[in-house]
């Protein structure tokens, strides 16, 4: 399932309390983003359609539950409903957790099968980075569930953790599945930059440092500035 047209590199995560705020913020960073992630779990009132009708960028919808580090505390059926709506109304991506019920996986896949939307199955570890065997096992589980794209994000405490996660790209290439993989935390910042240079499908950043949705997340302005410096260095070689 290799993606030969991998042009979506930088995803800006937006977590606002209202739809109006979310649309305005998305427009303000639109020129810097390849993809906009709408964190539905941050909204006081969950709505999907206004984002799809008012924003031109490819959209990724996430409704992260509390048990996976998000803010949604309701029933699974209600959480899933918003993702199903997004998939059916033109979202480019929806994100669902590996640990979500099998019924949620199947329901999304059924809707996505008749749309252009793609399913990202994600797994997060906010405490540490497991051994390589466990990371590879999680990747295999994600593929077995039918994901179009895998996402594995862990907390890094040192460079060994970062290298284990980044090396998953080799395994993903062998398995033929696009992979989003990087680390959270101060030690993991470098992985957010390196991942797309090493074959990663996409990296995530924030609107600004104070609006980060995960530890160690860079602002999109900083990320793009570093990319520009790296490009200039390449041209001078």
Superfamily name with CATH number, domain 10-235: Aldolase class I (3.20.20.70)
Give me the pLDDT at residue 119, please.
Answer: 97
Round to the nearest angstrom and report the end-to-end CA distance of the chain.
34
Check whether 10 has a pLDDT greater than 70: yes
Active site residues: 124, 151
Query: What are the pLDDT digits (tens) for 157-174?
Result: 999 999 999 999 999 999
> How many angstroms separate the Cα of 235 from the Cα of each of 32, 229, 230, 231, 232?
21, 10, 9, 6, 5
CA 201 to chain centre: 10
Look over the chain and give the mean of its residue pLDDT values, rounded to a whole number.
91
Check whether 5 has a pLDDT greater than 90: no
Check whether 8 has a pLDDT greater than 80: no
Q: Is the full-model pTM beyond 0.75?
A: yes
Q: For 135-149, b where at least 16 C-beta lie within 10 A, e where not — what string?
A: bbebbeebbebebbb
Calpha distance 226→97 (Å, rounded):
30
Check whether 6 has a pLDDT greater than 60: no
Give me the pLDDT at residue 209, please.
Answer: 73
- For residue 206, give both structure tokens: 């924030």
> What number is the average pLDDT over the span 183-195?
93
Model confidence band, residue 216 (pLDDT cutoffs 50, 70, 90): confident
Give me the pLDDT at residue 184, please.
Answer: 94
DSSP class of residue 122 equals E
- For residue 137, give both structure tokens: 């096992």
Query: What are the pLDDT digits (tens) for 101-159?
Result: 999 999 999 999 989 999 999 999 999 999 999 999 999 999 999 999 999 999 999 99
Query: What are the pLDDT digits (tens) for 44-82?
Result: 999 999 999 999 999 999 999 999 999 999 999 999 999
Model confidence band, residue 205 (pLDDT cutoffs 50, 70, 90): very high
């Amino acid at each position: 399932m290799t993606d030969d047209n991998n042009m979506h590199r930088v995803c800006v995560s937006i977590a606002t309390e209202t739809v109006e705020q979310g649309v305005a913020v998305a427009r303000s960073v639109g020129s810097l983003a390849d993809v906009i992630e709408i964190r539905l779990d941050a909204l006081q009132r969950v709505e999907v359609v206004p984002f799809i009708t008012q924003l031109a960028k490819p959209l990724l919808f996430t409704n992260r539950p509390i048990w996976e580090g998000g803010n949604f505390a309701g029933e699974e059926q209600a959480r899933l409903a918003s993702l199903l709506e997004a998939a059916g109304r033109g979202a480019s991506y929806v994100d669902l957790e590996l640990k979500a019920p099998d019924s949620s996986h199947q329901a999304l896949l059924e809707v996505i099968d008749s749309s252009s939307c793609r399913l990202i199955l994600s797994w997060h570890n906010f405490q540490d980075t497991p051994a390589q065997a466990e990371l590879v096992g999680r990747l295999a589980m994600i593929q077995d569930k039918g994901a179009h794209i895998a996402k594995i994000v862990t907390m890094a405490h040192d460079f060994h953790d970062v290298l284990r996660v980044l090396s998953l790209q080799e395994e993903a290439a062998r398995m033929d599945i696009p992979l989003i993989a990087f680390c959270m935390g101060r030690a993991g910042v470098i992985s957010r930059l390196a991942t797309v240079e090493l074959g990663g499908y996409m990296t995530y950043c924030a609107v600004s440092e104070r609006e980060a949705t995960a530890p160690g997340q860079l602002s999109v302005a900083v990320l793009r500035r570093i990319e520009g410096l790296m490009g200039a260095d390449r041209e001078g070689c």
